[in-house]
Amino acid sequence: MGNAHGHRKHCNHGVITSPPTNAHSPFHKYPQSARDSQTSSSTPNMESLPYAHVEKSLYIVRNTSIGSAFQFIGESLNLYFVFIVDDGPGSLRFGCRKKEPLWIIFEVSGTIHLSTYLSVSSYKTIDGRGQRIKLTGKGLRLKECEHVIVCNLEFEGGRGHDVDGIQIKPNSKHIWIDRCSLRDYDDGLIDITRGSTDITISRCYFAQHDKTMLIGADPSHVGDRCIRVTIHHCFFDGTRQRHPRVRFAQVHLYNNYTRNWGIYAVCASVESQIFSQFNIYEAGQKKLAFKYLTEKAADKEEPSSGCIWSDGDLFVSGTQSGLLAATAAHSLFHPSQHYTAWTVEPPSDSLKQILQHCTGCQNIPRPADQPLVP
């Protein structure tokens, strides 16, 4: 994880505990982000976030992710330059469909209006650093691919049935979505389904949306028992529900800030296992953070819900956790079963300020060791 930061704790094959306390701000549907009106003088230092060293170099990004996606295979990637069109040579779509490993970067800032889903093939890094890139109309589809990084992009205004900002299905693995801003799609912002696994979502900003993130689409999809996802240092800013909603999967949530939800913060459905660690939950009008839904897996006789373990989470200003005790029928994973170390810090006001201002797509210069021209 990130380099040294005050009061951080390192988890290494063990559980860290700290006493949870007890959040408020009025809920509005799709509120304007308070951070949109902040000046740069009030912005915390982005060095406080994990992966700060990544911003100083191009090639250090791969093999950096901590969490479910950490097993990246080092590849010699050729550079591919995008000039902001939807299709044809020089477009993002053209680069993403090529079969060879590519590091995709952008020569100019702008908005790419996608007329159809943009499919991403294996061994691609889509790197928005150095420019301001917004995708609209449709989203990215990561279908049967592996070893993909998507970083420092904006997703806004996706329209149409089943249109997600980032759709990861089926059978994709080793995916890292880092420092993206996502809002206002007709379906989900990020959906992870159909046997896709080993995925990390980090430093992302979610706003102006209803069904934010779905992990495991349907109780009939029993193959989703393989799904493992890590979500950390993300800011869910007034999104209505699904932060995430989980079926079958094992999900590790840590050091996220979720506020002002409209229904619930996190939902555990059929056979899901959610390890919620040192997160901040700040309710608006709806006070319940954790919700359980009972469904019947296609290969089982009896319906069941999922299980949530809360370790050191902060519930403030009247937020009710809604946490239920695990029963003998529930098994719960521990993240150390899948990765050996990660870094957490206390769910404090300092962490909240950092996540409010430093998550999502940022004005980050192109790393010095990256060529400036093709």
Phi/psi of residue 273, nearest 5 degrees = -130, 115
Q: What is the pLDDT of residue 237?
A: 98
Structure tokens at 6: 């005050």
Average pLDDT, the chain: 85
For CA atoms 216, 225, 232, 313, give the dihedral sign.
positive
User: Pick the residue with more confidence: 362 or 366?
Assistant: 362
Q: Whose structure tokens read 């915390």?
A: 44
Closest CA to 308 of 269, 345, 343: 269
How far is Cα 243 from Cα 251, in angstroms, rounded to an integer? 11
The string of pLDDT tens digits covering residues 125-136 is 999 999 999 999
pLDDT of residue 32: 46
Burial (0-12, 13-18, 19+ Cβ within 10 Å), 78: exposed
* Cα 246 → chain centroid: 14
* 288-344 pLDDT, tens digit each: 999 999 999 999 999 999 999 999 999 998 999 999 987 655 678 999 999 988 999
> How sure is the predictor about 55, in pLDDT bands with cuts at 50, 70 and 90?
low
- How does DSSP assign 30-86, residue by residue? SPPPGGGG--GGGPPPGGGSTTGGGGG-STTSTT---STT--PPP--PEEEEE-S-S
Catalytic residues, by residue number, are 242
Q: Where are the alpha helices (DSSP H) in 123-187?
A: none
Instruction: Give the chain's domains with CATH numbers.
Output: 58-358 (2.160.20.10)
Over 90: is that where the pLDDT of 63 sits? no
Band of pLDDT at residue 41, cut at 50, 70 and 90: very low
* 129: its two tokens: 């650093």
Please measure the distance between the N-terminal and C-terminal CA atoms of the chain and give it in whole angstroms.
Answer: 32
pLDDT for the residue 76: 56
Structure tokens at 22: 């007890």
Give me the pLDDT at residue 9, please.
Answer: 56
Phi and psi of 40, rounded to 5°?
-65, -25
Single pTM value for the model: 0.87
